[in-house]
Amino acid sequence: PAEEKAQLLQNQEYQERMVESTFLYLTLDLPTAPLYKDEKEQLIIPQVPLFSILAKFNGSTEKEYKTYKENFLKRFQLTRLPPYLIFCIKRFTKNNFFVEKNPTIVNFPITNVDLREYLSEEVQAAHSHTTYDLIANIVHDGKPSEGSYRIHVLHHGTGKWYELQDLQVTDILPQMITLSEAYIQIWKRREEDETNQQGA
């Protein structure tokens, strides 16, 4: 109830604290993946838009954290946009017995990802460039314990995408990149004088 909530907020343990911290990468949490089966008894892999999991950083979405001693809620908001951003999509969860992998596919555009809405209004005024383009995408295939990695890399000079796995290098269409189980992504901030060479 609103009255009880207002009363609790007067207590010290419920006071809101703001902490500013630097980051090397942003961790994006995948929703729990319910695996449904179609009429042919084949698994249907769930999908989620990139902007849904980026909502963690909009300053209003709350995430609950549990420790042995306490439970608390956190909200995140970006205060600065660096020239390069690294997203780590949290596919693996570890419990006491084994590691599980979430196979949810993240739907994302290759270019024009605007992060302006994840900045507070006062910070937005200081950022004239808030749009990012993907330049690298690391994929994990298979089971957590015995899977393999592939990487998709943009060749900046030609605007073409390549897939690297071990010593094999092949061309890949940008549309195919979005169908993979992306794990780590590197995004480059677009400057005003840059033109889009990626053809996507």
| In a domain? residue 14 | no
Closest of 134, 179, 181, 130 to residue 161, by C-alpha:
134
Q: Does position 181 have pLDDT exceeding 80, yes or no?
A: yes
| In a domain? residue 158 | yes
120-145: b or e for each residue (b if 16 or more CB lie within 10 Å)? eeeeeeeeeebbbbbbbbbbbeeeee
| In a domain? residue 121 | yes
Residues 153, 96: contact at Cβ < 8 Å?
A: no
CATH of residue 57's domain is 3.90.70.10
Q: What percent of the chain has pLDDT over 70?
A: 90
Segment 66-91 mean pLDDT:
87
| In a domain? residue 167 | yes
Residue type for position 158 = T
Residue 144, beta-bridge partner list: none
Q: Does position 197 have pLDDT exceeding 50, yes or no?
A: no
| In a domain? residue 164 | yes
| In a domain? residue 156 | yes
The total number of structural domains in the chain stands at 1
- The residue with tokens 């979005």 is 178
- The residue with tokens 């061309």 is 171
| In a domain? residue 17 | no
Segment 21-42 mean pLDDT:
79
Structural domain of residue 170, as residue ranges?
Answer: 22-31+44-189
Q: Are strands 47-49 and 105-107 parallel, antiparallel or unpaired?
A: parallel
pLDDT tens digits for 52-77? Answer: 999 999 888 888 877 777 777 888 98
- The dihedral built from the CA positions of residue 144, 149, 152 and 155, taken in this order, carries a sign that is positive
| In a domain? residue 147 | yes
Rounded to two decimals, what is the model's pTM? 0.82
71: left (phi over 0), alpha (psi -120 to 50) or beta: beta
